């Protein structure tokens, strides 16, 4: 049994991961890792959501010589990653939360997801003559 989410949410995740990996240097050999400001990160899916959205956690890799962050045992090599934040990609492909990304990256991933969805399944429903537009951008464009 696999992890289920809507097609457009999956396209948004793929588009965002590609952006993250393209701007980094050493994480191209993994499907869920990237580098940001000299630190490597990775994404881990959370629980499957009934509405088809994607949730998860972004983890920051720590240098091996840092002290353990998960227990107080002396000499423990410890956890070598720390939670950097949570991820939320809505079932309609809107990237709501994803640590280490900018608003522009989230918006680009959302639009790329719409384009990929339209290429495979046909265009999504239009709103005011435009394809999917996140609420915060709709307000800025005066479409509310």
Residue-by-residue pLDDT tens, the chain, 144 positions:
467 899 999 999 999 999 998 887 655 567 888 988 888 899 999 998 888 999 999 999 877 665 555 555 655 555 578 899 999 999 889 999 999 999 999 999 998 998 888 888 876 655 555 555 656 666 666 655
Which pair of structure tokens corresponds to residue 107? 């918006």
**What pTM was computed for the model?**
0.75
pLDDT of residue 75: 57
Q: DSSP state, 50? A: T
Domain map of the chain by residue range? 7-141
Going by C-alpha positions, the residue among 14, 4, 11, 23 that lies closest to residue 118 is 11
């Amino acid at each position: 049994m696999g992890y289920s989410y809507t097609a457009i949410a999956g396209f948004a995740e793929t588009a965002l991961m590609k952006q993250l990996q393209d701007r980094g240097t050493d994480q191209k050999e993994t499907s869920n890792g990237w580098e940001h400001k000299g630190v490597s990160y990775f994404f881990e899916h959370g629980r499957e959501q009934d509405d088809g959205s994607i949730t998860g956690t972004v983890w920051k890799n720590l240098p091996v010589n840092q002290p353990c962050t998960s227990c107080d045992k002396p000499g423990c090599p410890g956890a070598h990653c720390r939670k950097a934040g949570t991820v939320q990609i809505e079932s309609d492909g809107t990237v709501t939360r994803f640590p280490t990304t900018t608003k522009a990256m989230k918006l680009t991933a959302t639009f790329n997801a719409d384009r990929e969805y339209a290429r495979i399944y046909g265009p999504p429903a239009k709103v005011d003559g435009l394809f999917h537009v996140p609420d915060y951008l709709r307000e800025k464009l005066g479409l509310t």
